[in-house]
Structure 1
Amino acid sequence: MMNRLFACTFLLFCVGLAHAQSLIPAPPQLAAEAYLLLDAHTGQVLVEHNADKQVPPASLTKMMTAYIVSDEIEKGTIKEEDMVRISEKAWRKGGSKMFVKVGDRVPVIDLLRGVIVQSGNDASIALAEHVSGSEEVFAEVMNQQAELLGMKDTHFVNATGWPAEGHLTTARDLGILARALVADHPAHYKIYSEKYFSYAGINQPNRNRLLWRDPAVDGIKTGHTEEAGYCLVASAVKRGMRLIAVVLGTDSDEKRASETQKLLAYGFRYFQTHKVYSKDEVLQTERVWGGKESQVGISVEEDVFVTIPRGGEEDIKADLIIDGELEAPLTKGQPLGKVVVTLDGETVADVKAVAAEEVEQAGFFKRLWDAIKRFVMGLFG
C-alpha cells in the first residue's frame, strides 16, 4: 500500500446538459501553395494544407532575424541604443531597403524597425553583422534557434530571405516562429503593427495590407520573390482569442491578403479559446501522510487553455490523476500528477498537477501515528 503507484481520477469539470452540437463547416480552400491556421494560445492547428511542404520563405525569413535580435537585446548582449556601422555589403544588397548608407551609424532599434516595417535587406544584414560578425555566422545562429523552437523542416542560408539553394521552411514552422514572436518578445512584437516607418526622410508603409483593413490584425510579416510567390504571416485578436494565419505561394499582393482574411474569418467564426484553469488555482485537496498538515491543495503549473468549437464549453471534461500516495515533505510547485482535459473524448490538454503549497514533515510521533493508520487502512482496503 505504502509504495504502490495508483491513479485517482476525479471529475473536476463536466457539465452533462444536453445541447445542440456545434456545427462547423469545412474550412475554406485557398488559392495558395500552402497554408495553416492555428490558435496562438494553445498551438492547436485549425486548418492546414501542405503545411509540411518545404518552400522558400522570401522575406518571412526576417521574422527569425528580428526574433534573434530581440532575444539578444533581452539577454543584454546588445542594446536598442547601440550604434551599428553600416557595411558596404549591407548597403549594396538589392531588393527592399531601409536606405541606409555605407558608414552610417544607426541605432539597433531603428534597424529593427527597418527589418520589420520596411522589410529592409540592408537593415537585416547590418543587424546580422552586428550580432554575429557576419551574415554567414548569423545564419548558423538562425538555424540553431529554429531547432530550439522545434522548427524541424527549416534551414536558413541568409538573414534576408534572398533566394539561395537550401533556404527553405514550411507553413507549420512559420506558425511556430510566429507564436514565439508574440509570446517571447511582446514589447518588440508591437512594432509589427506599425503602419509606417521613416528613415533618412523616406517614409515607407508596412506591406501588410491587413493592418489597414482589419483592426483585429496586429502583425506580422509579408514576403515575396518570384520563386516563393506572395506570402503573408498574419496574427489577429478577437474576443480574447489570438489566431495566426500562414499563407504561402499566392499569385499577387492582393491575393495573399484576401486569402489570409478567409482563414482568419473562419477561425474566429467557428472556434474559441477557452481558459479551463488558472495557474495556482486550487482544484482539489489531497491527503498527505507524515506532514504537519494532513491536506495539500492541487493546482496546475500554468494557465490551461484549450481550443474548442464556439459554444462547446459543455463538452469539456477534466480529470485529475495523482501518481501515488502523497508523503511529506512537499515543496510548492512539486509535480504530483497531471490534469487531462478532454473534449468529446479526445485529449486537448495534458498538464502537470503540482502542490499548491509547501507541506513540512511532521515530528516523530505524528509520522508514527500516520504510519499506523496507513497500515490499518491497508489491511482493510
Structure 2
Amino acid sequence: MAQAPALPQPASATPRPAALSDALPIPPPPAPKTAAAWIVMDYATGQVLAGENYDQRHEPASITKVMTSYVIAAEMAAGKVHADDPVMMTEHAWREGGAGTEGSYSGFPVNQTAPLVEMEKGMVVQSGNDAAIALAEHVAGSEESFAALMNAYAARIGMKDSHFVNPHGLSAEGHYSTAHDLARLGQALIRDFPVAYSYNKIKEFTVGPITQPNRNVLLWRDPSVDGIKTGHTSNAGYCLMASAKRGDQRLITVVLGDTSENQRAVDSQALLNWGFRFFETHKLYDAGKAIAKQKVRKGAVDEVQLGLAQPLLVSMPRGKYSQLKPAMEVPKMLVAPIAKGQKIGMVKVTLDGKVVAQRPLVALEAVEQGGFFKRLWDEFWIWWDTV
C-alpha cells in the first residue's frame, strides 16, 4: 500500500501544548437509561459515533412527518406540486387528524384551502396530523398512494429497514423505522432540501385564532439546535430526532421510546453535548483534485492524475488529527486507454490501525492510446518489468 499525500492542515487548527487529557480515552456516551433505542450520528460523514439498538425496528410516531416533508420537497423540486398550491383540508383529513381526535392537529378549517407551504408548516411546527393527511391527499390522491411514494423515497435515501403506511405516524400495522434510518432521513432532508428543513426551527405557528408551539423544547434550551422533530404515541413512547450545528460541525441524534417529553429532551441534549465535546469532523480531500499521479503504459501521455469523485471526510476523536495515516492502493502498472472517472484504486485513512475512512481513486482525465511505435516501445517495457 503506497503512502498517500500528507493530509492538509486544518484551517481551524492552532498549535497548542499537549494536554494531559489528549492521552485519555473518550468517556462512554451518556446513554439514555429509559429509551428503547438511540443514536448519535455525524451529519457530514454519516458515521455512527455511538448508539444502542439503533437498527431495531420501532414505531417512529410523528417523526414520520420528516419523511412526509422529504416527499413533498422532492415532488416540489420535480415540478409536480408548488408552494402556492391550494391544499384542501378535506373532511377525511379533518375527521382522522383534526381537533376531534386524540392526536396533534393544525387547526385549518375543514373544506377550506390553504397554500401548500402554510399547510406544511402546520404539519411540521404543530405536528398536525390533519395537515399531514391533507398534504398526502394533495400530492398523491390518497394516503395509501402517498405511502407508496414515502417508501420509494426512503429506499432511495438508503433507509434499509423502514416501511411507512401513513403520512402522520399514528400507530398502524407495518409502520416502522429504526433510529439509524431516521438519522439518515434527517441527514437527507438537511442536505437535499434546506428550505423545507428550515421550517423545523420555527418555534410557533398560528392558524386562525390558534397559536401552537413547536414541541421540540431544545429549540429554546440550546441555540445550536435547529430541528428536527418530536413524536409520541402510547405504543412508540416519547421520541425525538434532534440536530444541532456548532461551528462547522453538525450532529444528528435520535432517541426512541423514552418515558416523557422532558426526558427525551434531556437525553438528546446530553448526547449532543457529548458528541460535540469529544469528536470533530475534517475534510481530508476535495473531489476532483489530484492527490496522486500514476505511470501509464501505451498511452498518448505517460501518467494520469488520480483523485476522488466525492470528497473524503472523517469523524474522529478530538486531538487525533495528526495521527491519521493516509495510504493508497493502486495497481503497479496502468495500461491505456483509461476513461475519465475510471476506478483505479482506493485511498484509505487509518487511525490506531483501524480504517476510519476510504474512497475509490479515479482517473481525473482520460488517457487515449498512444501511436503504434509508442505502444510497441511500452510493450517491451511491460515485458521487461515482468521478467
TM-score by length of 1: 0.91
C-alpha deviation, 1:140, in angstroms: 2.4
Amino acid at match of 1:125: I
1:361 Cα offset (Å): 2.7
* Aligned partner (choices 99, 108, 111) of residue 100 of structure 1: 108
Q: Which residue does the alignment assign to 1:211?
A: 219
For 1:318, the equivalent position in structure 2 comes to 326
Per-residue CA deviations over 1:9-32 (Å, capped at 9, x if unaligned) read 3343489xxx75352111113132
- The equivalent of 2:13 in structure 1 is none
**Which of 332, 336, 350 is the matching residue for 1:342?**
350
Letter in 1 for 2:371: G
* 2:22 aligned with 1:29: no
Q: Which residue of structure 2 aligns with residue 47 of structure 1?
A: 50
**CA deviation digits over 1:79-124, x for unaligned, max 9?**
2222222211112223212211222222221122122111111110
Specify which of 340, 348, 363 is matched with residue 371 of structure 2.
Answer: 363
Aligned to 1:374: 382
Choose 260-269 or 49-58, whichever is displaced more. 49-58
- Equivalents in 2 of 1:55, 1:11: separation in Å? 43
Gap runs ≥5 in structure 1:
1-7
Q: Give the corresponding residue for 1:295.
A: 303
User: Match for residue 12 of structure 2?
Assistant: none
Alignment of 1:44-193 (within 5 A): 44-92=47-95, 93=97, 94=101, 95-193=103-201
1: CA distance, partners of 2:140 / 2:122: 19
* Equivalent in 237, 249, 260 of residue 252 of structure 1: 260
Contact 2:144 2:165 in 1 (8 A): yes
SS of match in other structure, 2:296: strand
2:203 equivalent in structure 1: 195
After TM superposition, give the deviation of residue 125 of structure 1 in Å. 0.5
Taking the aligned partners of 1:151 and 1:284, their CA distance within structure 2 comes to 35
Cα deviation, residue 201, structure 1:
4.3
8 A Cα contact 2:2 2:330, kept in partner: yes
Note the C-alpha offset of 1:358. 2.8
Partners of 2:54 and 2:313 in 1: CA distance: 23
Structure 2: state its 5+ residue gaps: 9-17
Q: Which residue of 1 aligns with 2:3?
A: 10
Superposed CA deviations along residues 274-300 of structure 1, whole A, max 9, x for unmatched, are 211111221111111222221111111
Is the 8 Å Cα contact of residues 93 and 133 (structure 2) preserved in structure 1? yes
Residue deviations 1:250-275, cap 9 Å, x none?
22221111110000000011111121
- DSSP-derived class of the 1:223 partner: strand
Q: Distance in 2 between matches of 1:14 and 1:124?
A: 47
The answer to whether the aligner puts 1:243 opposite 2:251 as a matched pair is yes
Q: What is the rounded CA distance, in whole Å, between the counterparts of 1:62 and 1:75 in structure 2?
A: 20
For 1:139, give the aligned amino acid. Answer: A
**Over the residues paired in the alignment, what is the CA RMSD in angstroms?**
2.0
TM-score (norm 2): 0.90
Are the aligned partners of 1:211 and 1:219 in contact in 2 as well (CA < 8 Å)? yes
Aligned partners of 1:236 and 1:244 also within 8 Å:
yes
* Cα distance in structure 2, aligned partners of 1:317 and 1:27: 26
Which shifted more, 263-272 or 188-197? 188-197
Letter of the aligned partner of 2:42 in structure 1?
A: D
Q: Is the partner of 1:12 in helix, strand or coil?
A: coil
The share of aligned pairs that are identical, in percent, is: 46
